[in-house]
Amino acid sequence: MNRSFCAAALAAFAASAQPGGAASPAGGAVPIPLRVGATAVPHAVLLRAVAPELEAQGVRLDIRVYGDYARPNIDVARGALDANFFQTEPYLWRWRGAHMQPLVVAGRVHVEPMALFSRKLKPDALAQIRSGAIVAVPEDPANLGRALFLLQKAGLLLVDERRGLDAVLNDITDNPHKLKFRLLPAQRVAEQISSTDLVVLNGNFALEAGLKPEQELYREGSDSLFPNVVVCREELVTDPRVIALVAALRGPTAKKLLLEKFAGAALPAQ
């Protein structure tokens, strides 16, 4: 969106917000904070990085950090948050279908490639995984199918292609290494890296666990279908504060941070 249009919309929003409310030291209306829920890394890190430039535009962020995926969408739906920034687009599709809540994508920000990690295997020895190896994978429908197809791309098993990203363990058609699976909430998979042979990790949880891209045994490519998105209720998708937030998260400050601080573990979305 054109920056001048966005600035004009923000000015109009500030002028119309809460008549009779508190005044700023300069005599204008105090901006209504934009309440955004996020997981810690890289989402909350990116939000804090762009907060100063948003503040200069009259948008004050109220960043609330969540430790898992269970609450942020619920809190947006019930109005405790204005937006959230933690999930992939396919995750939202499934959540929306299950909960029948009209949450929408306000903008795509970055991709966190899912990757395989191990304490027992070296990066060049994935094919030497032992028979009966234990693999920890995320249990939620949006990430389980993604993990199984990543294992297929890595040459470890075959999955029924007709199931697509809805694939579950019963859709494995060939398991030559007799892999055994440990299904866990996505935020707990990293805990299993020492007690299993292999873990399949979402990029944000790999970052939180201190794992580096050079430790990956295999990873998704840049063609990942799982961009991380800003999500809000339908009536807020045209809110100038939300528009400004998405523009900032897709802007030069956030892109620089993604490329330098999270090099390889998180990449700007197309």
Fold of 115-219: D-Maltodextrin-Binding Protein; domain 2 (3.40.190)
Strand ranges (E), the chain: 34-39, 61-66, 83-88, 103-111, 115-117, 134-138, 158-159, 172-174, 180-184, 198-201, 218-219, 227-233, 267-268
Residue 15: predicted pLDDT: 45
3-112+225-268: CATH topology: D-Maltodextrin-Binding Protein; domain 2 (3.40.190)
**Taking a C-beta distance cutoff of 8 angstroms, is the pair 269, 110 a contact?**
yes
Strand pairing partners for 172?
A: 159
Confidence at residue 86, expressed as pLDDT on a 0 to 100 scale: 96
Provide block-wise average pLDDT over 10 residues at a time, the chain (270 residues): 51 44 43 93 96 97 94 97 95 92 95 94 88 97 92 96 91 98 96 97 88 90 82 97 98 95 84
Of the candidates 131, 133, 140, the one whose C-alpha atom is nearest the C-alpha of residue 118 is: 133
Could you give the residue range(s) of every CATH 3.40.190.10 domain in the chain? 3-112+225-268, 115-219
The model's pTM: 0.75
Q: What is the pLDDT of residue 8?
A: 52
Q: How many Å apart are CA 183 and CA 144, to the nearest integer?
A: 9
Q: How many helices (H) and strands (E) does the chain have?
A: 8, 13
In this structure, the chain runs to a length of 270
CA distance 267 to 110: 5
Strands 158-159 and 172-174, bridge-based pairing: antiparallel
In the prediction, which pLDDT does 228 show?
94
